[in-house]
Each structure stands twice: as structure tokens, then as C-alpha cells.
């Protein structure tokens, strides 16, 4: 779309604009990581140069149960993704390969779960979970998180299945493999990279969820998003600790994001856009 | 890569596999899908109970409740809070979606040039999207904090002190939209960038040879061909922005006053903070209704656009 | 290859689960202060002597208790002493510490479930107005008066009547606190007064104000006293009931205004009365003239932090808020903070300070009530309160003997004017609100209205308060007054 002979000025301006946006996007992360090493007293009168300290990390990691919160998050997000993969991959396969009545309706119903307002879900669920003793349990949260992870997984993996030409399957069937063998031994390996990437993306979104865990858990289980609200102590404001909480919460996702680069677009658009 | 067509369960080139009982074969797809549907629909059963409870005065603070018919609905519809909540919802959704689409498009175009710089940027610019919106709000609150924030210190250099960010009705919406933009603009950018990269080269070559200006190319070639991608970005962002809860709640809980009280936050405050469960449901159901209607229209439009686009290429 | 991935995922989840199980048991009392055992032995001599009257600290030996704490210095003080308690009584304690942001939501849910968990929870006075009518809270009077269950050293009369009375209520909406069942026991309390930076005042040759007029006059003089960005008066402003109940409510009551009155058998809001409108007008003007520009996002923390950082010259809030900032090393201005009583409206001579108490209450569904009572009397006893006030920042103590003790007065000497202010205000310190079960909703609407007035939404304060009155009336419309 860009011609080769753009003026130097034009190119400089474009780069400048990009640099401005990059600073806007990335500086906050950098600064936040920076102040995790700043002590509370130095918060007010120093900007970039200060004596670093690990006391914020110590206070958060050792002084509070933040590590448990982190692990809770891993369990709930990981569990949700696991369930979604187990139930969703077959569903995606069915949607990709079979023609049956109400197929597209079902598919769009699954998609619409993503658009359901979270508030709509948690208010009635709050009471129902109490009755079912699912309130504040891993199982309860994993189940609710399906609203986040399942539509994503089904739609994206469906796209990956559709990318595989039918001939591959038919060849295997001709060789006498039953359909579940074909699925297991041939199809899954082919979509493995896409599946893993979608699973990781679903994991990230589950990790970031706030509304569900705000109301449907809290005593035994706290996720990092909800716990992040807590980093205002009662007698002084521990900005450094807040930053530590935020940094630790954000770090895994940034790393994961780097891993799923190639499949990001497909995942984000639920398979509508091939990256 | 050609998309392979779904294989009809009943008709296949090889009959040996499908010599099993016919009804089992036909039922197979449903059976396979069943677990996923059960899991997700099970979660949505509460929706029905939500309608039920909206007709009561159920409250967590007192164990007794009774049917009060349409009172909750009538009270809501006649209260200024209700209409204000709808107005705020629209404001917030418009501010964020418009800014993200327009600026996102611009940045995506800038990023579509193939240089070493843009290639690196494409990778790292995704990071804000990966951060939980609550955490992002926390970060921005820290940065704009009037006592220790880096942005505050930066503004001090220009003799601006104590900028009110989320504390004043005049600047609160801007602040919330800013945070939303920071988190979600990369979503739009990535999508549109993928679209740009998938565009065929020949129309643009032709246009250049014919001497078309950049603007002409953009308006008549790029934009129409990007429509499917723009639509997807629009649908996702608009639906999410209308029900945004996390950012606003973490920022001011709906304040100052009721400046940021959109339908979600109002419902939460009424239903949870004050435990007036029945009273909060009209807000939630209204939100659901709005989202449902708009998303159906947009998705229908998108399918039309997809058909057009695939007809062209 | 996919098996490889599956193995990794399963393994990771398994490890995560094992780790989480290990971490689960981590919230039992395993915190700091290993030296506490020796101090407890020294100070707690009176308790270990199994007194006559059949009372024995070990009578609930072997029980287990679950306690919910709000994240607060009072709770941190208790946590330090839990090992001593367990050693004395043989009762194990498991606790959770939740930030105030989410704390009461959790408590309400837990109580509503009637599961008996937690046995004990921290609460304030206003929460009793919701929990007690719903039947969630145990009346403690039977325990207090039972000689077999209560240590003879307990001395209930030692509590300041206004403070312990704030937790007594006969459950009739509209009736003031002070009589009725005892729903909770105070761990400590706060009253509202004016803290100021004495070195700043000295430098500028100013004297701390006694009246609202004097306070108004000071505001322009303190503008940017410490360079650009600094301002005169820090007060709370967030969209929360906590914004109304400290300084605002104290001044409100001192003006002679009332939140509700009983008319017939209904509660009627009087927030649009002439006194109330006049007071609110002054308050709003004060914010505009001398408050922080970001006032509407200020909570207790930011207000106190600004005083401590030298960004605000005065703080009209809880006396202990400034106190925590003044502790050596706590903040930049530590040591420079002093106190005077809350500013009086013109023509008035009595300060009616509102108060807030953090107290502990017993879950009426608890299955370990007697053991819970052991915990409650231990942590509201003279010995513990003395230790906590002198060593663990528990200010203000709810017990007269502790406040007046030489050790505590010595600690207070470092806070200039604190004791004098306390003495001046304690007589009329009590809950200035009218008890009713929708307290939080009405008071949060009140705070939102204040934000709206400052934000310029209304043409006049009268108009705003009229709208607020309508809202409040509607909220309490289902409350029946006995």
C-alpha cells in the first residue's frame, strides 16, 4: 500500500507518530516495573533515580498471601481452559465437519455467550451458587469461566479444522482407521500449534477476568485481579506494593503473548480473520 | 488455502465407515457438541431466574422477600438514574469505540509498512491488550496520582498541577476512555493490520499506475476491502464497551457523583453493594436487551459484508 | 507430540494444585513477634491465675475458631497476640484479612449463608444496624453477665459509655443507640478533629482555627504553602458512605441538623433543612476554596497521606488518621503534626463529634460460641488493650483506664494536642446518625450528591439537598418505626 518513493519527511513523520504511540503503549509497563523497586518514602520526591530496594517484593510475596492468589488464578484459568479444550475441541470438529440441522444457530449461540454482559450472569449466579455450594469454589469459577474460554476455543479451533482438507481424513479412512483414530492420530497433531495458541489466548482472557471472581469468590479463593484492589494498606498507601502486585499479575501474560504471536489474530477475532 | 467443505454425515464417498446404525450417525454431531453446550447453557439458566427475581424485592440483607410485580420495572423506568445510566452507557461506548476504531485504523496503516522498526513494534504493541483491565486501571491511577505519579510529575514541568483525571465530572469520562483505549486499541490494530496484509496487491498496483492519489486509493480501494475486518473489530469492541464494568469500577466505582454510572455499574451497586437484588435487575436486563439487538444487527451486516468481500476477491 | 503437551499441562496443573493445598493452610496464626510470648507472660499475669468464681481460661480448650478481619492496624495488633491467646486458652484460631474495599461484602455473604463460618467478625457500629435486625449477630449481654464465662478482671464499666453504648441498640429504627442488647465489643475507636502541620503554621505565623469562620479565613493563606500542588485542607470525598461520616457528619451535627426524624411511623429525611443546607454550603465552599482538586477520589488513605507528605496543611478526619502519619518514620512530616478540636459553627459551643468503632461481634450461627466468647473477652480486656495501645498503634482505646494510664499518656505526649482534643470532645462523642437498616445506601447517595454539588451539577445546594431528601425518603420507605 505504500509506494517505495515516499519522501524522507513523510517517512520521518510516520516513524515519529509510531514512536509516540509506542511510548504511550509501553512506557506505563516499564514505569510500573520500575517503581516496584522504590521504597514508599522515596515515592514522593524521586522520579527515575533512587536507591532500589526489594522490600516491596518481600512485603507482597512473603507478607501477604499473594502467591496463593497467583496460584488460585493459575488453577482457575488453567482449569477453565482445560475443560474448554476437552469439551470444545470435539464440538469444533463437529461444527467443522458435519452438516446438521441448527448447526449455524448452535454455533452462533455459543458465540453469543461471549457477548453476554458479565453483570447479567453474576447476579443470579451469585444466589444459585450459594444454594449449590459452588460459591467460592474452584469448580464454580471454572464453570463460569467457560463463558470466556469456550466460545473462543470452539470458534477458533473450528477454523483450524476447516483449514485441513478433507482428503487427509478420507485417505486415512480408506486405510481403515476408525473416525476416532483419525481424529486423535492425524487431525489433532495437525492443529496442535493453533490449538495451543488458542488455549493460551483463552488462558490469558480467563486470567484477566475480574467481574466473575469479584462476586463469585473471595473468601477462600481470590484471583489476582480482585486482590489487586487490596493494595492500599490502612495507614499509608503502599504504592510500591501496588506496583509489585500489578507487575506480577501482568508478567505471565506478557510472556505468553510472545509465545502465541503467530496465531494471535485468529484467536482474537474468534477465527473470523486468518492472520 | 481453500476452505474444505464440511462433510455431510449422511453422504460420503466411503460407505464402509458409516455402516453403523443410521440414527447414531445422525446424532453423532449433536452428541459431540452436547458437553460444550451443557456446560455453557448451564451457566445461562440464571438468566431465566433473573427475570423471575426482577419481579421480587429480594435483598440479601433481609431473609424475607415477596413478589412485588412490576414495581421494580416501573420504579426504574421512572427514575432519572435509569435513563442516566443508559446515557452514560452510550457515551462511554461511543467515546471508546470511535477513538479505538479511528486511531486504531491509522496506527495499523502506519504499521503496515515493512521496515525493521514496524516489524518489532507489531510484536510488542500487543502487550497492553494482555494486561487485565483492572490492572491497567491500577497502573494508570498510579501514574496520574497527584502526589507520586510520573505523569503528574511530567505535567508539573509545564506548570500543570493536580490535574483531576478521574476526580472531576469534566475529565472522568476522558480518563476512563483513555484507559480503555490503552488496553484495547491494540486489538483493533492487530485485526486491521492482518486485514491490510491480506489484501491483494494487484488493485493497488493498478491504481498507482493509473496515477491515483493516496487518498483516492484509500477511500475507494483500501476501506471497502477492509470492511470485513473493520466490522469484526467494531462488533467486538462495541459489545464490550457497552457493558464495561471492570475499568469503571476500579477507577471510581461510578463516580464522581454519577458521572460514570453506566448500566453495569449501576446494576452492581444496587444489586451487590446495597444488596437490592430485585431492584438491580431492570438495569441488567435492559443492558442485555440493548446488546442483543445491536449485536444481531451488526452480525447480520457483517455476514452480508463477508459475502460481498468474498465475491470480490 | 500432543501427548508431550498433555503431559506438560497435566503436570503443571498437578503441581499447581499441590502447591495451592500447601498454601491453603498458611493463614493460621504464624505471624511475627516471636518475642511476644515473654511479654505476654509478664503482662498477663493476672489472667493466668485461674480466678475463683469458677472461671477458667482453659474451659474451651481444643476448640477451633475462624475469624474475619478487616485489614487494619487493630487487626494486625490482634494477630500478633494470637499465639499468646492460644497458649492461654488452648483454642486454635484461623483468620482471614480482607481489605476494607471488599470486606463487608464478604462478611454479609458469610453471615447470610448461616453456615456458622466465621465465628467472629470485625464490624463497625453501622453494620450492626443491618446485621442485628436480620438475626445474624449474637447478643453478648448474657455472656458478659455470666460469671462462669467471663473473667472477673473484665470490668465492663471501664469502657467509655458513649463508645460501648454505640454498639447497643434495641433494633427499632429511629431509636438512637445506647440501650438494648450488646451486639459487639469495641477494639478501639476514632473521633473526628482537626490535625494540622504545626511547623507550617509556625512558619506562617498562623494559629489553628476554633470556628468554621476562622477555618475559612485560613484557606487562602495556606494555598500552595509548600510550593505548587499543595493545598490547605485534606478531607475525604470518594463516592462512599465513609466520606460523610467523619468530618462532615461531625460538623453537620454540631450545626444542629438531623439526618432523619420520626414522623408517625415513618422515617423522614431532613437533609434539606435550613441548618443542613447552610452547613453543606459551607462545606462545599471549603472544598472549592481550600481542598484538593482531586478531592472526589480521596479516601481516608489519600487524605492522611497528603498531610504526612506535606501536601496538605490540615486534615479534618479521624484523630487516629493523623496519628498514624505522625508516628516516627511513618511519613515526611512525622513529628510535626498537632491536633485541635473540630471547628465549631458560629454561635455553637459544643462539638458533637461522630465516631467510628472497630468492634468484634459473634456470628449467631456460630457452632463455637463459648470459645468465641473467650476470644472476644481476651482481645477487649484491660491487659490486651493496654498492650495494644502502648505498643501496637491502637488509638483511641475504648477503655478509660487504658487512656488515662501513665504509659499511654507518655506515648500521646509525642502527639501535641491529641490528648487535650480528646478530653475536650469525648463527652459528646457518639453516633450522630439515626439508626436504620438502609444506612449505607442513603449515606452513599449523600456522598454522591456532595460530589455532584462540587461538580456543579445543581444550581444550588438547596436544590441538591431537596433531590437527596427525595431519594433518601424513597430508600427508607419500607422501614417501619416501632
Neighbour tally for B137: CB within 10 Å: 29
Chosen for mutation from C2, C29, C321, C393 (greatest number of chain A CBs closer than 10 Å) is C2
Give the pLDDT score at C301: 82
C24-59 pLDDT per residue, tens:
333 333 333 333 333 333 333 334 444 445 788 888
CA distances from A131 to A127, B207, B276, C276, C409 (A): 7, 66, 18, 45, 52
pLDDT tops 60 at residue C4: no
Residue A94 and residue B32: Cβ atoms within 8 Å? yes
Q: Are C241 and C328 within one domain?
A: yes
Contact B230, B105 (CB under 8 A): yes
Q: What is the pLDDT of residue B180?
A: 96
Q: Which residues contact B209 (CB under 8 A, 6 or more apart)?
A: none
Whether the predicted pLDDT of B216 surpasses 80: no
State whether C418 and C280 are in the same domain: no
Q: What is the pLDDT of residue B11?
A: 42
Indicate whether C23 belongs to any domain. no
pLDDT of residue A231: 56
Residues 122-151 of A with CB under 8 A from B: 123-128, 143-144, 146-147, 150-151
Among B138-147, B179-188, C250-259, C455-464, the minimum mean pLDDT is found in B138-147
Partners of C227 in the β-ladder: C225
Q: CA dihedral in degrees (C133, C135, C137, C139; nearest 10)? A: 80
Largest interatomic CA distance in chain B: 82
pLDDT of residue C173 exceeding 80, the answer is yes
Q: Would B284 be classed as within a structural domain?
A: yes
Higher pLDDT among residues B145 and A45, named by residue: B145
Q: How far is A256 from chain C (nearest CA, A)?
A: 14
Asked if C153 and C256 sit in the same domain, the reply is no
* Domain of residue C179, CATH code: 3.40.190.10
Q: Between residues 29 and 48 of chain A, which touch chain B (CB distance below 8 Å)?
A: 29, 31-32, 35, 43-44, 47
Grid coordinates standing for C314?
A: 490540615
Q: Do residues A135 and A212 make contact, with C-beta atoms less than 8 angstroms apart? A: no
> Is B229 a domain residue?
yes
Count of domains for chain C:
2
**Mind listing the pLDDT tens digit for each residue in C360-393?**
999 999 999 999 999 999 999 999 999 999 988 8
Q: B95 is in which domain, residue-wise?
A: 71-312
The answer to the question of residue C326 being in a domain is yes
Which cell is A21 given? 504511540
| Confidence check: pLDDT of B35 > 90 | no
C84, C158: one domain = yes
Q: Mean pLDDT check: name the lowest of A2-16, A63-77, B292-306, C9-23.
A: C9-23
Please indicate, yes or no, whether residues C317 and C451 belong to a single structural domain of this protein.
yes
Choose among C229, C239, C454: nearest Cβ to B162. C229
Range of the domain at C164: 60-190+356-427
B contact test, residue of A160, A168, A210 with most B CBs within 10 A: A210
Residue of A nearest to B199 (CA): A1
Q: Sign of the C-alpha dihedral, residues C413, C419, C421, C424? A: negative
Q: For residue C306, which residues of chain B lie inside 8 Å, CB to CB?
A: 147
User: Could you tell me if C250 and C131 lie in one domain?
Assistant: no
Distance from CA of A212 to the nearest CA of C (A): 14
Please give the Cα distance from A83 to A68 (Å, whole number): 22
Residue C46: inside a domain, yes or no? no
Beta carbon pairs, B and C, within 8 Å:
99
**B140–A103 C-beta distance less than 8 A:** no
| Torsion angles phi and psi, residue C176, rounded to 5 | -70, 165
In-domain check, residue B45: no
Which CATH number covers residue B123? Answer: 1.10.3720.10
Given a cut of 60, is residue B252 above it in pLDDT?
A: yes
Q: How far is CA C230 from CA A157, C66, C307, C338, C435, in A?
A: 57, 45, 10, 19, 38
Residue B58 inside a domain? The answer is no
Confidence of residue B304 (pLDDT cuts 50, 70, 90): confident
Q: With CB atoms and an 8 Å threshold, state whether A47 touches B150.
A: yes
B82 touches chain A (CB under 8 A): no
| Reported confidence tier of residue B310, pLDDT bands at 50, 70, 90 | low
B80: its cell numbers: 432519572
Cβ neighbour number for residue A174 with a 10 Å cutoff: 12
- Please indicate, yes or no, if residue B183 is contained in any of the structural domains: yes
Copy the grid coordinates of residue A86.
476437552
Decide if C475 contacts B279 (C-beta within 8 A): no
Name which of B9, B264, B295 is nearest A100 (Cβ-Cβ): B9
How many inter-chain contacts (A to C, CB under 8 Å) are there? 88
- pTM reported for the whole predicted model: 0.80
Average pLDDT of C335-363? 92
Residues of B in contact with C229 (CB under 8 A): 146, 156, 161-162
Q: Where are the beta strands (DSSP E) in C102-174?
A: 120-123
Cβ pair C106:A218 closer than 8 A: yes
Chain C nearest-CA residue for A129: C113
Residues B86-126 pLDDT 10s: 999 999 999 999 999 999 999 999 998 888 888 888 888 88
**Residues C349 and C384 grouped into a single domain:** no
Least confident segment among A126-135, A250-259, B35-44, B58-67: B58-67
Same-domain status, C184 and C202: no
Strands (E), A147-262: none
What pLDDT, on the 0 to 100 scale, is given for residue B22? 65
Whole-number pLDDT of residue A44: 67
Secondary structure element (H or E) that encloses residue C358, with its range: strand C355-362
ipTM: 0.83
Higher pLDDT, B59 or A119: A119
Number of domains observed in the structure of chain B: 1
Residue-level pLDDT at C15: 44
Contact by Cβ (8 Å): B266, B85: yes
Considering only the beta carbons, identify the residue of A135, A196, A232 that sits closest to C99.
Answer: A232
Poorest-pLDDT segment among B2-11, B216-225, C180-189, C281-290: B2-11
Contact B139 A112 (CB under 8 A): no
- The answer to whether B179 touches B133, Cβ cutoff 8 Å, is yes
Q: Which residue has the higher pLDDT, B30 or A58?
A: A58
Q: What confidence score (pLDDT) does residue B57 get?
A: 63
Which residue has 465489643 as its cell numbers?
C185
Please report the pLDDT score of residue A172 as a whole number.
Answer: 80
Q: Which residue has the cell 481452559?
A: A81
Q: Which residues of B touch C (CB under 8 A)?
A: 57, 60-63, 146-147, 156, 159, 161-170, 252-259, 269, 272-276
Q: From the CB of residue B47, how many other CB atoms can be counted at a distance below 10 Å? A: 18
Q: In A, which residues are within 8 Å of B109 by CB distance? A: 1
Percent of chain B scoring above 90 in pLDDT: 21
pLDDT band at residue B73 using 50, 70 and 90 as cut-offs: confident
Tell me the pLDDT tens digit for each residue of C213-230: 999 999 999 999 988 889
Q: Return d(Cα C68, Cα C80) in angstroms, integer.
A: 15
Mean per-residue pLDDT over chain C, rounded: 85
In contact, B261 and B85? CB cutoff 8 Å:
yes
The distance from CA C451 to its chain's CA centroid, rounded to whole angstroms, is 23
User: How far apart are the C-alpha atoms of C332 and C350, rounded to whole Å?
Assistant: 34
Q: Would residue B193 count as lying in a domain?
A: yes
Question: Of residues A179 and C178, which shows the higher confidence score?
Answer: C178
Asked if residue C232 is part of any domain, the answer here is yes
Domains along the sequence of chain A with CATH:
8-54 (no CATH), 56-268 (1.10.3720.10)
Residues 6+ apart with CB under 8 A from A264: A197, A201, A257, A275, B126, B190
Q: How many CB atoms lie within 10 A of CB A198?
A: 32
- In B, minimum Cα distance to A125 occurs at B46
Sign of the alpha-carbon torsion through C113, C115, C117, C123 = positive
| Residue A57 CB neighbours (<10 A) | 18
Mind listing the pLDDT tens digit of every residue in chain A (275 residues)? 555 567 888 888 989 999 999 999 999 999 888 888 888 777 766 677 778 888 888 877 876 778 888 888 899 999 999 999 998 888 888 888 777 777 777 777 777 777 778 887 777 777 778 778 888 789 888 988 988 888 888 888 888 888 887 888 788 878 887 777 777 887 888 888 888 888 988 998 899 888 888 777 766 777 887 777 665 433 446 778 878 888 888 888 888 888 887 777 777 777 777 65
Q: What is the dihedral of CA B283, B284, B286, B287, to 10 degrees?
A: 120
Nearest C-alpha in C relative to A221: C24
Verify that C317 and C216 share a domain, yes or no: yes
CB contact under 8 A, A125 and B299: no
State residue B179's pLDDT score. Answer: 96
List the single residue in A14, A21, A173 with the smallest CB-CB distance to B14. Answer: A173
| Contacts C301 to A, Cβ<8 Å | 232-234, 236-237
* Same domain (yes/no): C105, C207: no
What whole-number distance in Å separates Cα of residue C114 and Cα of residue C476?
A: 26
pLDDT for B274 equals: 64
Predicted local confidence at residue B55, as pLDDT: 67
In angstroms, the separation between the Cα of residue B269 and the nearest Cα of chain A is: 11
Same domain, C231 and C370: no
**Percentage of chain B with pLDDT > 70?**
81
Tell me: do C220 and C292 sit in the same domain: yes
Residue C28: what pLDDT? 33
Cα separation, C374 vs C372, whole angstroms: 5
Rounded distance between C-alpha atoms, residue C115 and residue A133, angstroms: 11
Amino acid at each position: 500500500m505504500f509506494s517505495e518513493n515516499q519522501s524522507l519527511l513523510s517517512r520521518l513523520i510516520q516513524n515519529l507518530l509510531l514512536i509516540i504511540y509506542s511510548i504511550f503503549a509501553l512506557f506505563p509497563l516499564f514505569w510500573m516495573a520500575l517503581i516496584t523497586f522504590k521504597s514508599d518514602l522515596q515515592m514522593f520526591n524521586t522520579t527515575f533515580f533512587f536507591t532500589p530496594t526489594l522490600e516491596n517484593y518481600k512485603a507482597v510475596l512473603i507478607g501477604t498471601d499473594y502467591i496463593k492468589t497467583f496460584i488460585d488464578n493459575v488453577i482457575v484459568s488453567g482449569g477453565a481452559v482445560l475443560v474448554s479444550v476437552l469439551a470444545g475441541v470435539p464440538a469444533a470438529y463437529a461444527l467443522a465437519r458435519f452438516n446438521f440441522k441448527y448447526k449455524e444457530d448452535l454455533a452462533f449461540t455459543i458465540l453469543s455467550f461471549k457477548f453476554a454482559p458479565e453483570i447479567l450472569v453474576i447476579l443470579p449466579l451469585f444466589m444459585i451458587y450459594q444454594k449449590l455450594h459452588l460459591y467460592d469454589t474452584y469448580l464454580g469459577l471454572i464453570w463460569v469461566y467457560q463463558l470466556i474460554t469456550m466460545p473462543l476455543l470452539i470458534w477458533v479451533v473450528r477454523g483450524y479444522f476447516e483449514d485441513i482438507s478433507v482428503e487427509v481424513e478420507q485417505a486415512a479412512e480408506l486405510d481403515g482407521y476408525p473416525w476416532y483414530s483419525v481424529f486423535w492420530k492425524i487431525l489433532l497433531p495437525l492443529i496442535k500449534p493453533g490449538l495451543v495458541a488458542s488455549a493460551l489466548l483463552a488462558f490469558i482472557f480467563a486470567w484477566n477476568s475480574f467481574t466473575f471472581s469479584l462476586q463469585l469468590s473471595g473468601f477462600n479463593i481470590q484471583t489476582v485481579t480482585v486482590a489487586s484492589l487490596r493494595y492500599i494498606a490502612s495507614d499509608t498507601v503502599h504504592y510500591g506494593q501496588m506496583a509489585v502486585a500489578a507487575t506480577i499479575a501482568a508478567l505471565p501474560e506478557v510472556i505468553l503473548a510472545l509465545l502465541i504471536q503467530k496465531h494471535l489474530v485468529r484467536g482474537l477475532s474468534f477465527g473470523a480473520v486468518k492472520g | 488455502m481453500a476452505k474444505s467443505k464440511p462433510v455431510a454425515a449422511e453422504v460420503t464417498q466411503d460407505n464402509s465407515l458409516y455402516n453403523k446404525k443410521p440414527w447414531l450417525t445422525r446424532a453423532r454431531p449433536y452428541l459431540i457438541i452436547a458437553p460444550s453446550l451443557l456446560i455453557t447453557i448451564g451457566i445461562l439458566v440464571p438468566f431465566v431466574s433473573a427475570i423471575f427475581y426482577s419481579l421480587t424485592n429480594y435483598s440479601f440483607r433481609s431473609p424475607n422477600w415477596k413478589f412485588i410485580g412490576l414495581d421494580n420495572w416501573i420504579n426504574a423506568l421512572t427514575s432519572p438514574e435509569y435513563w442516566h445510566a443508559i446515557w452514560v452507557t452510550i457515551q462511554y461506548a461511543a467515546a471508546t469505540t470511535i477513538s479505538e476504531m479511528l486511531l486504531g485504523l491509522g496506527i495499523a496503516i502506519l504499521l503496515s509498512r515493512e521496515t525493521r522498526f514496524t516489524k518489532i513494534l507489531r510484536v510488542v504493541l500487543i502487550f497492553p491488550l494482555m494486561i487485565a483491565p483492572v490492572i491497567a486501571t491500577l497502573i494508570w491511577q498510579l501514574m496520574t496520582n497527584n502526589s507520586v505519579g510520573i505523569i503528574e510529575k511530567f505535567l508539573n514541568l509545564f506548570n500543570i498541577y493536580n490535574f483531576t483525571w478521574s476526580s472531576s465530572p469534566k475529565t472522568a469520562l476522558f480518563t476512563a476512555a483513555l484507559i480503555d483505549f490503552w488496553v484495547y486499541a491494540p486489538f483493533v490494530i492487530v485485526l486491521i493490520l492482518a486485514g491490510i496484509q491480506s489484501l491483494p496487491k494487484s488493485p493497488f498496483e493498478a491504481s498507482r499506475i493509473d496515477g491515483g492519489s493516496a487518498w483516492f486509493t484509500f477511500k475507494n480501494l483500501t476501506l471497502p476491502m477492509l470492511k470485513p475486518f473493520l466490522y469484526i473489530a467494531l462488533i467486538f469492541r462495541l459489545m464490550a464497551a457497552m457493558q464495561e464494568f471492570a475499568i469503571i469500577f476500579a477507577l471510581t466505582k461510578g463516580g464522581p457523583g454519577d458521572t460514570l454510572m453506566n448500566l453495569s455499574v449501576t446494576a452492581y451497586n444496587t444489586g451487590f453493594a446495597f444488596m437490592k437484588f430485585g431492584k438491580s435487575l431492570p438495569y441488567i436486563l435492559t443492558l442485555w436487551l440493548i446488546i442483543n439487538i445491536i449485536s444481531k444487527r451488526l452480525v447480520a451486516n457483517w455476514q452480508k459484508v463477508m459475502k460481498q468481500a468474498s465475491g470480490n476477491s | 507430540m500432543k501427548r508431550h503437551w498433555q503431559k506438560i499441562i497435566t503436570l503443571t496443573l498437578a503441581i499447581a494444585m499441590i502447591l495451592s493445598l500447601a498454601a491453603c493452610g498458611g493463614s493460621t496464626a504464624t505471624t511475627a513477634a516471636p518475642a511476644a510470648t515473654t511479654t505476654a507472660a509478664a503482662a498477663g499475669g493476672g489472667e493466668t491465675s485461674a480466678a475463683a468464681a469458677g472461671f477458667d481460661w482453659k474451659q474451651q480448650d481444643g476448640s477451633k475458631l475462624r475469624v474475619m478481619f478487616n485489614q487494619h492496624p487493630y487487626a494486625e495488633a490482634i494477630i500478633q497476640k494470637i499465639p499468646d491467646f492460644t497458649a492461654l486458652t488452648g483454642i486454635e484460631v484461623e483468620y482471614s484479612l480482607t481489605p476494607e474495599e471488599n470486606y463487608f461484602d464478604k462478611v454479609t455473604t458469610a453471615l447470610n449463608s448461616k453456615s456458622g463460618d466465621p465465628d467472629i467478625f470485625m464490624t463497625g457500629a453501622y453494620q450492626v444496624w443491618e446485621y442485628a435486625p436480620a438475626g445474624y449477630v449474637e447478643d453478648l449481654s448474657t455472656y458478659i453477665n455470666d460469671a462462669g464465662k467471663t473473667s472477673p478482671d473484665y470490668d465492663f464499666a471501664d469502657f467509655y459509655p458513649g463508645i460501648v453504648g454505640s454498639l447497643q441498640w434495641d433494633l427499632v429504627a429511629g431509636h438512637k443507640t445506647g440501650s438494648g442488647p450488646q451486639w459487639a465489643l469495641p477494639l478501639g475507636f476514632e473521633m473526628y478533629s482537626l490535625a494540622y502541620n504545626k511547623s507550617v503554621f509556625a512558619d506562617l505565623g498562623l494559629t489553628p482555627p476554633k470556628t468554621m469562620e476562622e477555618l475559612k479565613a485560613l484557606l487562602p493563606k495556606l494555598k500552595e504553602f509548600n510550593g505548587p500542588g499543595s493545598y490547605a485542607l485534606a478531607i475525604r470525598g470518594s463516592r462512599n458512605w465513609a466520606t460523610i461520616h467523619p468530618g462532615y457528619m461531625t460538623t453537620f451535627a454540631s450545626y444542629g441538623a438531623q439526618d432523619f426524624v420520626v414522623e408517625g411511623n415513618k422515617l423522614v429525611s431532613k437533609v434539606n433543612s435550613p441548618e443542613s443546607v447552610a452547613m453543606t454550603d459551607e462545606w462545599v465552599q471549603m472544598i472549592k476554596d481550600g481542598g484538593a482538586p482531586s478531592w472526589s477520589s480521596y479516601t481516608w488513605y489519600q487524605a492522611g497521606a497528603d498531610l504526612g507528605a506535606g501536601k496538605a496543611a490540615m486534615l479534618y478526619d479521624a484523630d487516629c488518621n493523623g496519628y498514624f502519619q505522625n508516628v516516627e518514620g511513618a511519613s515526611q512530616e512525622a513529628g510535626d503534626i498537632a491536633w485541635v478540636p473540630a471547628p465549631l459553627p458560629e454561635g455553637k459551643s459544643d462539638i458533637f463529634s461522630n465516631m467510628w468503632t472497630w468492634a468484634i461481634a459473634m456470628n449467631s450461627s456460630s457452632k463455637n460460641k463459648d470459645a468465641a466468647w473467650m476470644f472476644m473477652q481476651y482481645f477487649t480486656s484491660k491487659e490486651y488493650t493496654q498492650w495494644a495501645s502502648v505498643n501496637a498503634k491502637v488509638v483511641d482505646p475504648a477503655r478509660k483506664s487504658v487512656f488515662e494510664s501513665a504509659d499511654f499518656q507518655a506515648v500521646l505526649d509525642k502527639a501535641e494536642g491529641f490528648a487535650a482534643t480528646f478530653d475536650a470532645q469525648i463527652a459528646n462523642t457518639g453516633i450522630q446518625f439515626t439508626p436504620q437498616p438502609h444506612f449505607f445506601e442513603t449515606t452513599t447517595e449523600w456522598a454522591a450528591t456532595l460530589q455532584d454539588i462540587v461538580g456543579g451539577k445543581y444550581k444550588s445546594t438547596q436544590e441538591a439537598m431537596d433531590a437527596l431528601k427525595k431519594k433518601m425518603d424513597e430508600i427508607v420507605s419500607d422501614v417501619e418505626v416501632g
